[in-house]
Chains A and B, each alone.
Chain A
């Protein structure tokens, strides 16, 4: 991993990391980028495994969507994260695509990123100056731009150990049923107490701002409630209020604001159910 980082650091021209390649190869083929260096990291052992650790899960940078979907323990602990990654592309793309690639592509519409943010995931970055660990939401800074410095590579994603009575979910709006890009994405992660009261929550939105948004007001709307209609209304309102979307070919501003609230309500209900709430 260090050697790979060193190669990237040394290159004077344009250099890219290749893992799944499902974004990179498309950009290469269309002539959008003409790299001087590609560093393929998917043969590095550290990038290829999902490890259950005392702190939770460590997911290598080149682990594919299909592999995430086949990991029973991960799926049980973080079903929302896995379903978000499994929504990307097609069956064929799932055999290649990675969550780290999805994160580093830095699209505000990336499907797995809101779910990772809601999960409180962190990434381990390897670079010329050694390793550092940062929260996922600090990686993308603008559409197509990350906070990674020259020579830095994300080695793995860390997902925290799951508390009991917890659940997460991700929903996106697309005009079709698959093979599409989110017009709005919403992830919710909740933890309930024995009485079914929400004691912890994180809610994140995709495709409604230049980067994925963590929405503390949305979490506040849920914490301390039984996630009843009133709380869900407040959640929807908080999510709609947090949106800073644009009008574009994929949807209007008004549409995104409205649908962010609708999906937040639906995602929270799924997360609650997964947490054992009735």
Chain B
């Protein structure tokens, strides 16, 4: 990407960096906004999905005859209605298998059949009439158990990749990854102190408030429309079209407003099923998941088991770091262990480093992305050991981290050499923060941790239309999950030199724009933002050309400055500047509509670092933990809309607090999920949380004209470790398993007391 010649940190912004109301705000607080389940269509049917009650079972036969005869039932689909169009694309076949079970049901909740009926009651009755003949098979849900040689094997096709020689016997280990550099063994030989620990984390769910919902409408001519709550409607279109054997052009997908995604809505679950039902019934079909279905059959994140070993010299310099990470990502390949292994040691400047990752399948729902996929668990393990090492060498955790922190020029643990990065500034700022020096109350402890996330660019396409009254309509193709429409309007207004409220951004449907990658990887403010800036520059070039035409001077003799076309210099002629509105008003007479476009594959997403400080209070008699103070310090590159940047910082911290303290997928011996609801899957409620304090640092990303870095994901990386370190400081015991629920903390405290008594 061409970079602005102006040094970014000196650029004075007029609109970017202000905090206007978001364009979708009023609709959302008044209930006017339309979410996934809010769409209706004439003749609409209700779609419901029958799900496997077994964790692992061969499906011998599915008998739908009785259900088909029930009055009001208009269509039933099973595996027979989903022929394999995937042409050897293994990842696509996994999606096909996940949306409707084929030879086997691979987890409790795996879709087995679906019904479209005239009402919900009839649909529910019909599901009861479908007879599925299962042969129940042994199951496995724990990652370490699944790796054992005698574990029940899910897929006979999995022969571990990445090991030499390649095994000939199928197992649950999909692939081995390895990252790093230097000589780890030699590094450990040089260490004065080595700490080695094993950690476990339970699977958690993104916990978005809006369940998956869609309305599919396929006509007899094979043309379809889909209204859906998703993070990426182009992905939904392409995936559904390929799974169902449709031309991409025959499916138009519109993204609804979205009630949270956090990565969980970057794939398809119900959408191809709704389309198949609609195609078969020749009627619109709406499918809305219940919360129980969301827990059992959407995509939580991985549960993990991680070994970390780090060696240091007496004066606190790390000599070697080594980790083995085992992540189960449910019944199909693709746990985020690769990102876990890549990011585990990314915060440190290391001579000798190695991270090995194993991607493992188990009888659980196929995982989906969850905010910085794979990184929080790795950071929990590594940052817990870092804290322990710091204490062993007699250093404060923060000084130990400053001493070993990665900086510009560091060769990262996953390969690339860092450009300008913000880790040290967040650490130094943390040390100066009042929170760091605030006194602690009884039973309270302070912890900290650092975190890293890659950030992503990706395919993006934006259109910007200049209206005749000088307002601007901006069309983007990335669903707005964090206030991005406001940020896009800010950047367009900045470039065009017009007020924020003259620009209106929408998320356009798939037939209105070129392909856009999903809203993920903290990419939208960076990539869609950069496309918006370039689309605006494309528009200003055209606006200048129109002014040149009006003035009768060459196009090159006109520049765009402060919202006006102006003659480039005295030689160009003496014309009064024309505002955007003035040029736009004459568009019809000077060549027609004026629009700016930009399409590209964005590169140069700057990596992002954060430091978190946490105070926890532990009740020594019950093990109950309260987070009493929490501060997030993170590099945003450039905060386009600071309120939404702060919101991202706070949101990630809160999800991390839930993950650290109470959230977990609890499986029974029968392989069934025991807590598929918000009563027993405990996300934090408001009164559980302190106000999350935030500090935005701005170390410009050279890959973006304004210096923007993605901010959405890094904030969930440090909390697990920051809280574990705080709990350890408060309670005097270190927990190596998440969640640190009260029974676990109390058991650890009792164990420690018993040991102390035994020693006395």
Contact = CB atoms under 8 A, between A and B. Distances in A.
B685 A178 contact: yes
Given A173-B622, A176-B688, A255 B742 contact: yes
A112 B743 CA distance: 24
Given A30-B290, A249-B666, A176 B682 contact: yes
Contacts of A250: 680
Contact of A181 (B621, B624, B679): B679
A163 B624 CA distance: 35
Contacts of B688: 176-177
A153 interface: no
Given A30-B292, A175-B662, A251 B685 contact: no
Interface string A250-275: 11101100110011000000000000
Nearest to A173: B622
B621 A262 contact: yes
Contacts of A180: 679, 682
Contact of A175 (B124, B290, B741, B750): B741
Interface in B682-707: 682, 684-685, 687-688
Nearest to B292: A30
B622 A249 contact: no
A87 B124 CA distance: 35
A228 B666 CA distance: 41
A13 interface: no
Interface residues of chain A: helix, strand, loop or mixed (majority): loop
Q: Which of B684, B746, B750 has the most CB of A within 10 A?
A: B746
A179 B622 contact: no
B39 interface: no
B490 to A, nearest CB: 36
Interface string B672-684: 0011000110101
B396 interface: no
Interface in B702-760: 741-743, 746-747, 750
A175 B682 contact: yes
Contacts of B743: 251-252, 254-255
Interface string A16-44: 00000000000000110000000000000
Nearest to B128: A31
B505 interface: no
Interface string A103-130: 0000000000000000000000000000
A259 to B, nearest CB: 5
A255 B747 contact: yes
A252 B682 CA distance: 17
Interface string A159-177: 0000000000000010111
A111 to B, nearest CB: 14
Nearest to B621: A262
B306 interface: no
Contacts, number: 55
B680 A249 contact: yes
B661 interface: yes
B124 A31 contact: yes
Contacts of B662: 175-176
Contacts of B675: 249
Interface string A173-200: 1011111110100000000000000000
Nearest to A252: B743
A255 B746 contact: yes
A199 B139 CA distance: 58
B742 A177 contact: no
Contacts of B661: 175
Contacts of B674: 248-249
B685 A176 contact: yes
Interface string A222-255: 0000000000000000000000000011111011
A259 B685 contact: no
Interface string B609-645: 0000000000001111000000000000000000000
Contact of B622 (A30, A178, A254, A262): A262
A176 B684 CA distance: 7
A31 B679 CA distance: 17
A125 B448 CA distance: 58
A156 B746 CA distance: 40
Contacts of B685: 176-179
Given A249-B666, A249-B674, A175 B679 contact: no
14 contacts: A173-B622, A175-B624, A175-B682, A175-B742, A176-B684, A176-B685, A176-B687, A177-B685, A177-B688, A181-B679, A181-B680, A249-B675, A255-B742, A255-B746
Given A175-B661, A259-B746, 11 more contacts: A30-B290, A173-B624, A176-B685, A177-B687, A180-B682, A183-B742, A249-B675, A254-B743, A254-B750, A255-B623, A259-B622
Interface of A: 30-31, 173, 175-181, 183, 248-252, 254-255, 258-259, 262-263
